[in-house]
A = this chain, B = another copy of it.
Amino acid sequence: MDGQRAARHPAGLRELKKQRTRDALLRAALELFTTRGYEETTVDEIAEVVDVSQRTFFRYFASKEEAAFTIQSMVESYFVAELRRRPARETPFEAMHNAVLDAWNSINEAIEALVPVELHLRTYRLIESTPSLLAAHLRRATELEERVALVIAEREGLDVETDPRPRVAVAAFSGVMRVTGRLWGQRETGLDGLLELTESYLDQLVPTLAGDWPRTRGS
């Protein structure tokens, strides 16, 4: 349902156990996914690591897939939150750009509360390289796009249904984000490399679309 789970709920031994089970299942799942491969990991194996029945796994996660995207959901929530926080003076593009940077900087501790960040990065690479997970990832991305488009429209005082610009801007922006995300997954650079890559790609978007491509090869 939500992304953040902290020590805020009324406690209770029951709640505690539930969270423990869920966290254990999540960690076990991601660990198995990233070492053995997603398709090669069965839900029974995950459940067995946590000493729980397969049925119980499906009570915490609607699907095997959902476990793989738990952290990703959190990141998305952070991004949207940061986007809403951007000052109105920024252009839509600047706002999205800055929201991405801010989100990456502030999300780390929230992730670490659930699983090691390093495990999450491995999971991200896995998603990018596993066809079925990549498909799910892209669909989730478009759902996020819709949410973002609504935020942008609100910022600019526009109606998404009559004015195409919010959706067009978001589509172009996320297109670039996807490309950089994929390239980063293929290469070996760390998280800093991603930020750098994203920066340079975003900067080139407008001139690229303008049409004339001077052969200023950067080799």
Interface residues, chain A, with chain B CB atoms under 8 Å away: 91-94, 131, 134-136, 138-139, 141-142, 156-159, 162-165, 167-169, 171-172, 174-176, 178-179, 182, 200-201, 204-206, 208-213, 215, 217-219
Please give the count of copies of this chain that the complex contains. Answer: 2
User: Of the candidates B157, B205, B211, B213, which one forms a contact with A172 in the assembled complex, judged by CB atoms under 8 Å apart?
Assistant: B205
- Say whether A168 contacts B179, CB under 8 Å: yes
Q: Which 10 A-B pairs have the closest CB atoms?
A: A171-B175, A138-B138, A175-B175, A135-B139, A135-B135, A172-B172, A91-B211, A165-B208, A171-B179, A167-B179
- Say whether A165 contacts B204, CB under 8 Å: yes
- Say whether B213 contacts A164, CB under 8 Å: no
Give 20 pairs: A residue, B residue, CB < 8 Å, sorted on A.
Answer: A91-B212, A92-B211, A94-B211, A134-B139, A135-B135, A135-B136, A138-B141, A163-B218, A164-B200, A164-B201, A164-B208, A167-B179, A168-B201, A169-B209, A171-B178, A172-B205, A172-B208, A172-B209, A206-B209, A209-B209
- Say whether B163 contacts A217, CB under 8 Å: yes
User: Of the candidates B135, B167, B206, B219, which one forms a contact with A162 in the assembled complex, judged by CB atoms under 8 Å apart?
Assistant: B219
Q: A92, A175, A178, A206: which has the most chain B beta carbons within 10 Å?
A: A175
What CA separation (Å) do A41 and B126 show in the bound complex? 31
- Say whether A213 contacts B135, CB under 8 Å: no
A86 to chain B, nearest CB (A): 14
What CA separation (Å) do A215 and B200 show in the bound complex? 29
Q: A131, A138, A171: which has the most chain B beta carbons within 10 Å?
A: A171
- Say whether B205 contacts A209, CB under 8 Å: yes
What CA separation (Å) do A21 and B12 show in the bound complex? 61
What CA separation (Å) do A173 and B219 show in the bound complex? 24
| Contacting residues, chain B, for A162 (C-beta < 8 A) | 217-219
User: Of the candidates B131, B141, B159, B176, which one forms a contact with A171 in the assembled complex, judged by CB atoms under 8 Å apart?
Assistant: B176
What CA separation (Å) do A1 and B162 show in the bound complex? 41
A108 to chain B, nearest CB (A): 27
Nearest-neighbor residue (CB-CB) of A201 within chain B: B164
